[in-house]
Structure 1
């Protein structure tokens, strides 16, 4: 039986909320390998990251899922910020916490993430070599996805100028602009004429009983979006991403780019031990919670972390 423990741990100026998942018959007098599991954008630890943390605990790993700074049950003001630098450092703070636990072997810490959490994990692993093995499940670059969502370069620059004007408004005391990550329901998707599989399935996951959670309210602070637009987790991966690496994607590509990023990171990473698993007939959001995708992904992750931790 898997036991869990809700925890708070230090970030730079405030606390992050996390949940430890313990393997069956856990012995606190023995040092164990441990995993940090990072959630996608717009998500929280109660959703897909806890699914993976729980299943990896069932397979013998101590796993820590947590909420990003400024989001979910973690602290940080103003709320609803998505900052890739913070998201990257959150992973480092999670490791800082794990290495203080007497039952964690600091030389056997791995990290994985789903969707943008996978991109942030790759970004962290480039500079934090306490991460001994790196995994991405449908890993995506929030920067790439949003740069492409806003269209051609001239449109992107126009959007950045608009975001700058909104930041000036807020600096002068105006109301903050909070926008939705995705449409609120299937009716909005249809009305907007959206046909992209990733957006359609995102709404089905986050905005229905399938995956909806009170701490994942579909809100993002508009003025934090430029922080994503300038972010690229693949920068310098040829030189800096050297740990053993596994990437798992489905072969049904969508606009969030995990299929493409999987190949790019696999081909460019400096890791000597690396592998890419492409699951046939699987979409990005199948890998969030659908057994036909999650089960083979967990099997691959278990094999990988057992080998390298």
Structure 2
């Protein structure tokens, strides 16, 4: 059973979907999972898919649009802002505690790709989170950022563009955008033939905007360091990754840096995008 919901995060209205187990009874208490997706994505993509599947296994699950995306409020649109997403996931925990049937002592996080960093940051700070699972987690640090985004020069150019975009937005209210994905425009946030985002039968759906990535996003994204949170995580952790997934060595290092033994690293096959929607993974 799926239910449309809304809740507020720092005064911003967020839209989401709750999924309930088969034969749900409001008089019983169920463990709950907040599911996060990749950067720029909406609840109808991988987070909703995982949320629906997990609900079949006895969980109440939540997938929602973080602020600036999808049906949620927030300006400018399509702003990938790490601190805002962390706050939104934190407020999603508070929201779930008000949902009838949720066991308030059993709220967990499941993070696909980029949300792994955001949810790791939240788990490190919020003891109400009782466990974290990452699936093909994008966990970068400053060195990884330089390798991925064109070295020191490439990173500096993006940061300069973001600073200029922020100045224009604050002074004139105008938002500078680049494509979220493109096979021809090298300035796109994701430049390449990535079928998941281009295929309307997968992630290239009408609810997602392939042509919009706010340039202002580069500042927060490129300076965010999710790797640093591993040492502060006290909850049980499950990490699902593989050699074909992004930043594989970072995933191993993140796992090694978690300072307790209640952790599992499940190494498997498949590309990064297989983990988004391939049911065999």
Using the size of structure 2 for normalisation, the TM-score is 0.91
Change (3 A) 1:89 1:142: farther
Q: 2:276 aligns with which of 273, 281, 288?
A: 288
Residue segments in structure 1 that go unaligned for 5+ positions in a row: 193-197, 294-309
Matched residue of 1:110: which SS?
Answer: strand
Q: Determine the structure 2 residue equivalent to 1:242.
A: 234
Distance (Å, rounded) in 1 between the aligned partners of 2:215 and 2:145 = 12
In structure 2, distance between residues paired with 1:199 and 1:262: 23
Query: Is 1:216 paired with 2:208?
Result: yes
CA distance in 1, matches of 2:5, 2:209: 22
Contact 1:116/1:142, CA 8 A, preserved across alignment: no
**Going by fraction, where is helix more abundant, 1 or 2?**
1
Q: Is the 8 A contact 2:141 2:225 kept in 1?
A: yes
Does the CA-based 8 Å contact 1:247-1:275 persist in structure 2? yes
More moved, 25-34 vs 206-215: 206-215
Paired position in structure 1 for 2:29: 31
Q: Please identify runs of 4+ aligned residues in structure 1 that moved more than 4 A.
A: 142-147, 198-201
| Pair 1:182-2:169 in alignment | no
Once the two structures are superposed, residues 238-279 of structure 1 have per-residue CA deviations (whole angstroms, 9 ceiling, x without a partner) of 1x11110010013214xx42x233212111112330111111
Report how many aligned residue pairs link the two structures: 275
Among candidates 77, 83, 93, match of residue 95 of structure 1: 93
Deviation larger for 224-233 or 162-171: 162-171
Instruction: Give, in angstroms, the shift of residue 163 of structure 1.
Output: 2.6
Q: CA–CA distance in 2 between the matches of 1:76 and 1:91? A: 15
Quote the offset at 1:227 in angstroms. 0.9
Describe the SS at the equivalent of 1:242: coil
Q: Is the 8 A contact 2:141 2:227 kept in 1?
A: no
